[in-house]
């Protein structure tokens, strides 16, 4: 206001009129002094007016701000990064590192993600809910049990979307049984004694709780053995299905699927036999490719159709060292007509065998249904191997799912049958009714299941050095990249749409990146 008032006075007040006359020396000095004051006043207020004018143009009263230094752009976080380290110092933790896409060149290796190339859709990730797993999870008190189930199966947890269960007992039950066991020497060809009773309070009760959390979860069901009265050795271990019982055994599957439907449980798929080339487990049953093909095309397939059941038939369900087994069955057009795809484990062979089968029959689906972690294994070693082979490897070789073996057991790796797996480490160890711990299997699956929901599509990405990886596009349009560093600590770029993000993974670490 001071400058404004003075400016107004200066413009409104007239300069004094000076007429020509003779002045005394004293008058001259007085007039000179007055004139100098007026001139100084004029110069001062002229400078003020000029300064105010410049300030209004520049938005600043500081002349040095007329050409300010540009403010650097703020880096925004465009990529979420979840990390697990092999030394367990970081476990499935979202990182605070700000990752923004850039075009500034560097010399680091690239993982190129290409959304324009699409491959198989994903059905899900998860575990086998063995009878033993259900037993120990059901032993938790109500609060801890619900906490665990929410963590495992809800969208706010790790979002398991696919489970495997046994038809009858697996080797991770306390005892061997089927749903139609008879006294030695007796048979039940009309299956009148069929009953789900051995699992009603265990696996079946737990599945019902899981379905409340995730009603869309997919379930593949697999027998470890037919009822022993159907087998040629009348024993839970080994032996083969007698051809005279092929029709009866097909009806056994129909009865099972219908009984599960009556429990409001829909089975997505079945396999005719777990590990058909392994007759040594308890329970187990040997089944050649020719026998399985015959059983499917002449008995199981037609029986499901007649019963109006849409449950998928998935063949083989064994190791990657025998791709000729599923290929030979798929080569039979009559059997092929009933088959959705083939399932694999990786206790033998190489994961690339899945692509071998895909290349032979590209219209048929592929599944990865089992791999265990051992009580003697190390966290870091298992994390690396399973991410590289089970999660990344199976997906890069056309699998629609990736399942680890047992979901849970107790601190002594129980329960299991006599002769069953005594060193299988569950993803969860239930210690007491109020306490459980998470093992390496939990983190192996979680790095995929939490971020890649059912319905996602695998997209293209290149393997760069030791940076094993696989990429997906989710139904919501997010891009997910899972990277396992199989070598030394590495800084690298994730390149997408001609821009890239630079990040680092320690040796043996796993990162999931989402944008």
> So what's the pLDDT on residue 477?
98
pLDDT at 75: 56
Residue 458 pairs in a beta bridge with 472
Is position 275 annotated as part of the catalytic site? yes
- Among candidate residues 291, 370, 404, 484, the one labeled active-site is 370
Over 70: is that where the pLDDT of 30 sits?
A: no
Closest C-alpha among 146, 136, 172 to residue 406: 172
SS3 492: strand
336, pLDDT greater than 60? yes
Selected residue with higher pLDDT from 49 and 482: 482
**Taking residues 228-238, what's their average pLDDT?**
98
Is it the case that residue 60 has pLDDT exceeding 80? no
Q: Pull the structure tokens for residue 31.
A: 């007039």
Catalytic residue status for 370? yes
Q: pLDDT-based confidence at 41, cuts 50/70/90?
A: low
Residue 238's region, left for phi above 0, alpha for psi from -120 to 50, else beta, is left
Q: Is the pLDDT of residue 109 over 70?
A: yes
Cis peptide before 226 (omega within 30 of 0): no
Sheet holding 110-121, edge to edge: 93-94, 80-84, 510-514, 479-485, 467-473, 457-461, 110-121, 490-496, 499-505
Residue recorded with tokens 């099972």: 256
Q: What is the pLDDT of residue 345?
A: 99
CA distance 148 to 215: 17
DSSP string across 407-424: SEEETT-----TTS-SSE
Catalytic residue among 64, 66, 193, 275: 275
User: Is the pLDDT assigned to residue 493 strictly greater than 60?
Assistant: yes
pLDDT band at 69 (very low <50, low <70, confident <90, very high): very low
Which has more confidence, 340 or 4?
340
Q: pLDDT per residue over 79-88, tens digit each?
A: 999 999 999 9
Residue 241: predicted pLDDT: 98
What is the pLDDT confidence band of residue 22, given thresholds at 50, 70 and 90? very low
Res. 450 pLDDT band, cuts 50 70 90: very high
Q: Are 258 and 242 in contact (CB under 8 A)?
A: no
How many beta carbons lie within 10 A of that of residue 407, not counting itself?
Answer: 29
Tokens in use for 322? 């025998």
> Do residues 390 and 402 lie in contact, with contact meaning Cβ atoms separated by under 8 Å?
yes
Q: Please state, in angstroms and rounded to a whole number, the distance separating the CA atoms of residues 180 and 267.
A: 19
Tell me the mean pLDDT in the region 168-195. 98
pLDDT at 37: 53
| pLDDT, tens digit (0-9, with 9 covering 90-100), for 236-275 | 999 999 999 999 999 999 999 999 999 999 999 999 999 9
Instruction: Look at residue 24 in the predicted model and tell me its pLDDT.
Output: 45
Q: Is residue 416 scored above 80 in pLDDT?
A: yes
Q: How confident is the model at residue 14 (pLDDT cuts 50, 70, 90)?
A: very low
- Running DSSP on this structure, what letter comes out for residue 489? -
Residue 197's pLDDT band, with cuts at 50, 70 and 90, is very high
Q: Give the pLDDT band (50/70/90) at residue 76.
A: confident
The mean pLDDT of 442-452, rounded to a whole number, is 98
Asked if residue 348 lies in contact with residue 320, where contact means CB atoms within 8 angstroms, the answer is: yes
Stretch (H or E) spanning 181: none
DSSP string across 213-240: H-TT-EEEEEES---GGGBSS-SSSS-B
* DSSP notation for 303-352: HHHHTT---EEEEEEEEET-THHHHHHHTSHHHHTT--EEEEEEEEE-TT
User: Residue 509 pLDDT > 90, yes or no?
Assistant: yes
Rounded to 10 deg, the angle between the 203-213 and 131-138 helix axes is: 70
Mean pLDDT lowest for which of 57-66, 195-204, 216-225, 506-515?
Answer: 57-66
Which residue, 185, 187, 166, 191, is CA-closest to 177? 166
DSSP string, 424-482: EEPSEEEEETTEEEE-HHHHHHHHHHTT--TT-EEEEE--BTTEEEEEEE-TTS-EEEE
Q: What pLDDT does 318 receive?
A: 98
CB-based contact 335:325 (threshold 8 Å): no
More confident residue, 54 or 383: 383
């Amino acid at each position: 206001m001071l400058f404004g008032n003075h400016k107004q006075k200066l413009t409104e007040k007239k300069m004094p009129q000076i007429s020509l006359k003779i002045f005394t020396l004293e008058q001259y000095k007085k007039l000179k002094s007055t004139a100098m004051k007026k001139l100084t006043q004029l110069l001062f207020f002229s400078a003020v007016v000029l300064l105010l004018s410049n300030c209004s143009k520049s938005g600043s009263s500081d002349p040095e701000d007329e050409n300010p230094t540009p403010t650097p752009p703020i880096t925004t976080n465009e990529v979420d990064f979840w990390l697990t380290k092999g030394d367990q110092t970081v476990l499935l933790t979202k990182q605070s590192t700000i990752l923004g896409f850039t075009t500034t060149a560097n010399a680091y290796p690239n993982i190129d993600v290409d959304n324009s190339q699409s491959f198989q859709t994903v059905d899900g990730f998860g575990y086998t809910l063995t009878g033993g797993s259900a037993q120990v999870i059901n032993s938790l008190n109500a609060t801890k049990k619900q906490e665990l189930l929410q963590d495992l199966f809800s969208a706010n947890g790790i979002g398991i979307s696919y489970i495997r269960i046994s038809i009858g007992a697996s080797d991770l039950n306390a005892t061997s049984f089927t749903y139609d066991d008879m006294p030695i020497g007796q048979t039940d060809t009309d299956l009148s004694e069929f009953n789900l009773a051995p699992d009603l309070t265990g696996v079946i009760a737990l599945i019902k709780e899981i379905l409340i959390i995730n009603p869309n979860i997919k379930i593949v069901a697999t027998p470890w053995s037919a009822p022993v009265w159907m087998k040629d050795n009348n024993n839970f271990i080994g032996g083969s299905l007698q051809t005279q019982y092929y029709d009866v055994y097909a009806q056994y599957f129909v009865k099972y699927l219908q009984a599960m439907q009556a429990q409001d449980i829909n089975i997505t798929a079945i396999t005719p036999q777990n590990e058909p080339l392994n007759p040594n487990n308890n329970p187990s049953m040997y089944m050649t490719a020719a026998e399985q093909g015959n059983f499917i095309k002449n008995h199981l397939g037609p029986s499901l159709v007649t019963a109006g059941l849409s449950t998928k038939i998935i063949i083989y369900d064994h190791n990657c060292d025998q791709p000729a087994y599923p290929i030979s069955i798929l080569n039979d057009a009559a059997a092929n007509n009933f088959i959705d795809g083939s399932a694999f484990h990786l206790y033998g062979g190489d994961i690339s065998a899945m692509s071998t089968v895909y290349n032979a029959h590209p219209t048929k689906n592929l599944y990865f249904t089992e791999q265990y972690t051992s009580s003697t294994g190390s966290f870091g070693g298992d994390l690396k191997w399973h991410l590289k082979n089970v999660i990344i490897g199976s997906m890069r070789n056309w699998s629609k799912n990736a399942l680890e073996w047992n979901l849970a057991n107790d601190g002594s790796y129980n329960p299991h049958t006599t002769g069953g797996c005594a060193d299988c480490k569950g993803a969860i160890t239930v210690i007491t009714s109020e306490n459980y711990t998470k093992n390496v299997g939990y983190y192996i699956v979680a790095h995929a299941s939490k971020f890649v929901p059912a319905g996602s599509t695998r997209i293209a990405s290149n393997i760069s050095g030791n940076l094993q990886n696989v990429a997906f596009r989710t139904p919501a349009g997010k891009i997910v990249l899972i990277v396992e560093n199989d070598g030394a600590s590495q800084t690298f770029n994730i390149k997408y749409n001609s821009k890239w993000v630079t990040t680092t993974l320690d040796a043996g670490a796993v990162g999931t990146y989402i944008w």
